[in-house]
Amino acid sequence: MRRILLSTAKILISAALLYLALRKVDLSELFSRFTVTSLFWIGAAITVTFLQIFVGVLRWREISAVCGAPLELGRAMRYNVIGSFFNQTLPSAIGGDAVRLWLVARAGAGWRAATYSIFVDRAIGLIALAILIVASLPWSYTLITDPHGRSALLLIDFLALAGGLGFLVFGALKWRWLKTWWATHHIHACAVIANRVIFSRSRGPIIAILSVLVHVLAVVIAWCVVQSIAAPVRFSDVFLLVPPVMLITMMPISIAGWGVREATMSLAFGFAGLAANEGVNVSLLFGAVSFIVGAFGGLVWILSAEKAAQGSAPIGVPE
């Protein structure tokens, strides 16, 4: 019953925020801006989305190897594409992570290694996003002159950065009870792995580059969407506004980020002195691109060996 209520709440939040955001959009005017060139840009956005998934796969494989759940490149790519489908269909922005976890565990790695690899991958991605936003703050302050917008940006990024750095500090603590108490044991183990990966001389630079590239590619996807409707928005605007919106969208309070993304993008564009309705337009098309890629992931899932063998083999859980 609790899960049903939680899912219902997320659906209602998405619906309410989408309704409020769509009140600012003239859909007929938006569709009238589509041309043959628009199809090219949408196709480019879809292509870049697959590239973003591939870059995420490269990072995940580095992390999984340290967690004791090594993955072949093809299998990891398949799992991530399938995860993109469940991100769009499950009542959470991280539904795809749960499915990836299940797939890795079922492949023989076990629940612990699979969970650690997904959790650490998410944590490192969050830290990279927060650092990217901090690095761009001088330019963001030039773009966003509204004091409320500046305060919101600082607060959101401070919370994300504090959480990420606190996670790393937690992993550096040597207190024995952290490793034995049930409430801290697994979180501490994940934090230790995150430190080991990030500060590794061999893996650290690779992880850093891949993590930043994942978020830069999200900006490129949004830019392709902007070009598809010839919105009067510069690349620099997209680069500064999209990462904070993606950070907020990561909160698991809606269905695949729908509603939260549109409302946040509208506010971000408004704070930057741009047309709020263009922010909603860009967000809707960004979501549409994700949905198309997710639909492809659904096809991969239907045809996959994992789907065919679902429930036919036990999952081993290592001690």
What is the full DSSP assignment across 127-189?
A: HHHHHHHHHTHHHHHHH---HHHHHHHHHHHHHHHHHHHHHHHHHH---THHHHSTTTHHHHH
- pLDDT per residue as tens digits for the range 177-215: 888 888 899 999 999 999 999 999 999 999 999 999 999
CB of 57 closer than 8 Å to CB of 309: no
For residue 310, the number of C-alpha atoms closer than 13 Å in the C-beta half-sphere is: 8
How much is the pLDDT for 28?
A: 84
Q: Which amino acid is at 73?
A: L
Q: Which residue has the tokens 């899912």?
A: 7
CB 106 within 8 A of CB 306: yes
Q: Hey, CA dihedral for 289, 290, 295, 296, is it positive or negative?
A: positive
Residue 314 binned pLDDT confidence (cut-offs 50, 70, 90): very low
- Domain borders along the chain are 31-301
C-alpha angle 30/238/18, rounded to 5°? 45
Q: 3-class SS at 98?
A: helix
Whether the per-residue pLDDT at 316 is higher than 60: the answer is no
Q: How confident is the model at residue 261 (pLDDT cuts 50, 70, 90)?
A: confident
Q: Confidence class of residue 311 from pLDDT cuts 50, 70 and 90?
A: low
Determine the Cα–Cα distance for residues 21 and 34; give it in Å rounded to an integer: 21
pLDDT of 87-115, one tens digit each?
A: 887 655 567 888 999 999 988 888 999 99
User: What percentage of the chain has pLDDT greater than the value 70?
Assistant: 91
CA–CA separation, 88 and 95 (whole Å) = 8
Q: Given a cut of 60, is residue 319 above it in pLDDT?
A: no
